[in-house]
Amino acid sequence: METPPIPNPQSPIPASKRAVVLVSGGMDSAVTLALAHEHGFTSYALSVDYGQRHSSELAAAQRVATRMGAQAHKTVCVDLRSIGGSALTDDIAVPAEGGTGIPVTYVPARNTIMLAIALGWAEVLGAQDIFCGVNAVDYSGYPDCRPAFVEAFARLANVATKAAVEGAPLRVHAPLMAMSKADIVREGLRLGVDFATTVSCYQADDAGRACGHCDACRLRRDGFHIAGVPDPTRYR
């Protein structure tokens, strides 16, 4: 679902103040969107329907983008379910909290694909900035949530795009990279983020209610607990 058509790249909004912000519907991307606004960017929210287990997070992404004043919200479909390999895109059970190593909820190449789509839209918009909510502290061990990944993608963006080659370098921002989940909760509260509108659970139901047992639920619940604020999550 999309908002009305985006303005032409030649609109009065300065290109240097436009940014594409990846918005998943979860708490991290909501705080990232709020931070982009705080830094003076006009945000173009981008969500990706990649064949995940439920659509409630995409509905949450629409709510977040609308309520937080994104200039536009676009959802792009990419069928990662056709290649599977993850508990979020295949017939693999979502594990209960805990475990070691990279969990089966890791989706092969997901963040690479999402950032690539964001990069393409940024070029069309004439935007030089992309924001994503990846985090290297409370991140379940995913390899594409580390500083090295973001830095490598930024280098790729600046050798693979017409914009960068012609003198408009692109920047990839990951403002939550070094924050704990409790830090993210506190930052979101400072910025006025309504966490009740977000969905983080790997297997939320159609109403957006969380299971309370998966890694995403555990990290979210612990974040609110350590921050010392009530958890607004709706659990089944």
Residue 11 is predicted with a pLDDT of: 47
Give residue 13's pLDDT band: very low, low, confident or very high (50, 70, 90).
Answer: low
18-22 and 42-49 strand pairing: parallel
Residue 12 is predicted with a pLDDT of: 53
Whether 141 has a pLDDT exceeding 90, the answer reads no
Residue 88 is predicted with a pLDDT of: 86
Residue 97 is predicted with a pLDDT of: 60
* Dihedral sign from CA coordinates of 57, 62, 68, 74: positive
Kindly list the structural domains of the chain, giving each domain's residue range(s) and its CATH number in brackets, ordered by start. 16-227 (3.40.50.620)
In this prediction, residues 54-75 reach a mean pLDDT of: 95
Residue 55 is predicted with a pLDDT of: 87
Residue 9 is predicted with a pLDDT of: 41
Whether 120 has a pLDDT exceeding 60, the answer reads yes
Whether 1 has a pLDDT exceeding 60, the answer reads no
Q: Residue 141 corresponds to which tokens in the numbers above?
A: 């061990």
Whether 149 has a pLDDT exceeding 80, the answer reads yes
Query: Tens digit of pLDDT for each residue in 38-60?
Result: 999 999 999 999 988 888 999 99
Q: Report whether 215 contacts 97 (CB < 8 A).
A: yes
Query: Tens digit of pLDDT for each residue in 72-107?
Result: 999 999 999 898 988 888 888 887 765 567 888 888
Whether 4 has a pLDDT exceeding 80, the answer reads no
Give residue 225's pLDDT band: very low, low, confident or very high (50, 70, 90).
Answer: very high
Whether 126 has a pLDDT exceeding 80, the answer reads yes
Whether 27 has a pLDDT exceeding 80, the answer reads yes
